[in-house]
Amino acid sequence: MSFISKILDAFKPESTMEMENTADGSEKTTNLNNEELEANMQEDNQKTQLIYMFPPISLLDTINNTENFREEIKEKSIKLLKTFHSFGINIEIVDIFYGPRFTRFEIQIEKGVRISDILRLEDDIKLNLEVSNLHIEAPISGRTTIGIDAQNENTSIVPIKKVIASKEFIEFSSNLAIAIGKDVAGNNIVESLDNMCHLLIGGTIGSGKSVCISSIIISILYKAHPNDVKLLLIDTKAVNLTMYNGIPHLLVPVVTDLRKSTAALQWAVNEMVERYRKFGVFGARDLAAYNKTVEKYSSNDESPQKIPRIVIIIDDFSDLMTTYNGSAEESICRVAQMGRAAGIHLVISTQRPSVDVITGTIKANIPSRIAFNVFSAIDSRTILDTKGAEDLLFDGDMLFYPQGIRAPLRVQGAYVSDTEIINVVNFFNNQMVGYYGADYEKKAEQRQVVSNENELDPYFAEAGKIVIEKEKASIGMLQRMFKIGFNRAARIIDQLEEAGIVGPEEGTKPRRILMSMEQFERYIKEYL
412 φ, ψ to 5°?
-95, 115
Q: According to the model, what pLDDT value does residue 431 have?
A: 67
What whole-number distance in Å separates Cα of residue 110 and Cα of residue 457? 80
Q: What is the reported pLDDT for 177? A: 96
Task: Report the amino acid identity of residue 256.
Answer: T
Is residue 215 scored above 70 in pLDDT? Answer: yes
Determine the 3-state secondary structure of 27 from DSSP. strand
**Cβ-contact 347, 216 below 8 angstroms:** yes
**Which of the two residues, 119 and 440, has the higher pLDDT score?**
119
**CA-to-CA dists, residue 126 to 82, 133, 404, 443, angstroms:** 13, 7, 31, 62
Cα 116–Cα 117–Cα 123 angle in degrees, nearest 5: 100
Instruction: Give the per-residue pLDDT at 454.
Output: 52
CATH of domain 448-527: 1.10.10.10
Mind listing the pLDDT tens digit for each residue in 351-407? 988 888 888 888 889 999 999 999 999 999 999 999 999 989 889 999 999 998 888
- Segment 45-63 shows an average pLDDT of 72
The yes-or-no verdict on residue 520 having pLDDT over 50 is yes
H or E segment and range at residue 264: helix 258-282
Question: Would you say residue 47 has pLDDT above 50?
Answer: no
DSSP state of 508: T
Q: What pLDDT, on a 0 to 100 scale, did the predictor assign at position 36? A: 41
Higher pLDDT, 14 or 53: 53
% of the chain at pLDDT higher than 70: 83
CB-based burial label for 170 (10 Å; 0-12, 13-18, 19+): middle
Instruction: Annotate 415-475 with DSSP letters as a single string.
Output: B--HHHHHHHHHHHHHH---TT-TTHHHHHHHT-SS-STTSPPTTHHHHHHHHHHHT---H
Chain segment 143-183, per-residue pLDDT in tens: 889 999 999 988 888 999 999 999 999 999 999 999 999 99
Q: How far is the C-alpha of 139 from the C-alpha of 283, rounded, in Å? A: 47
pLDDT at 15: 34
Q: What is the pLDDT of residues 441-477, one digit of tens each?
A: 333 333 333 334 457 888 899 999 999 998 889 888 8
Cβ atoms 398, 372 nearer than 8 A: yes
Rounded average pLDDT over 120-140: 91
Residue 485 has a pLDDT of 75
The b-or-e profile of 71-91 (16+ CB within 10 A means b, else e) is ebbeebbeebbebbeeeebeb
Report field, pTM of the whole predicted structure over 0.75? no
* Percent of the chain with pLDDT strictly greater than 90: 47
Distance CA 410, CA 435 (A): 39
- pLDDT tens-digit map of 78-88: 999 999 999 99
Domain boundaries, the chain: 27-55+157-431, 65-151, 448-527
What average pLDDT does the structure give for the chain? Answer: 82
For residues 524 and 129, which has the higher predicted lDDT (pLDDT)?
129
- Give me the pLDDT at residue 67, please: 58
Say yes or no to pLDDT of 306 above 90.
no
Element (H, E) at 231: strand 229-235
Q: Which fold has domain 27-55+157-431?
A: Rossmann fold (3.40.50)
Please tell me the predicted confidence (pLDDT) of residue 159. 94
Provide the pLDDT confidence category of residue 430 given band limits of 50, 70 and 90. Answer: confident
Which pLDDT does position 143 carry in this prediction?
Answer: 86
Query: Does pLDDT of 296 surpass 90?
Result: no
pLDDT at 449: 36
- CATH match of 65-151 with 3.60.20.10: no
Tell me the per-residue pLDDT of 480-515, one tens digit each, with 9 for 90 and over: 888 787 778 888 998 898 888 988 877 667 888 988
For 311-318, what is the mean pLDDT? 92
pLDDT of residue 354: 85
Report the alpha-carbon distance of residue 388 to residue 377 in Å, rounded.
Answer: 7
pLDDT (tens digit, 9 = 90+) per residue, 93-106?
Answer: 999 998 888 999 99
Question: How many angstroms separate the Cα of 368 from the Cα of each of 210, 328, 365?
Answer: 17, 20, 9
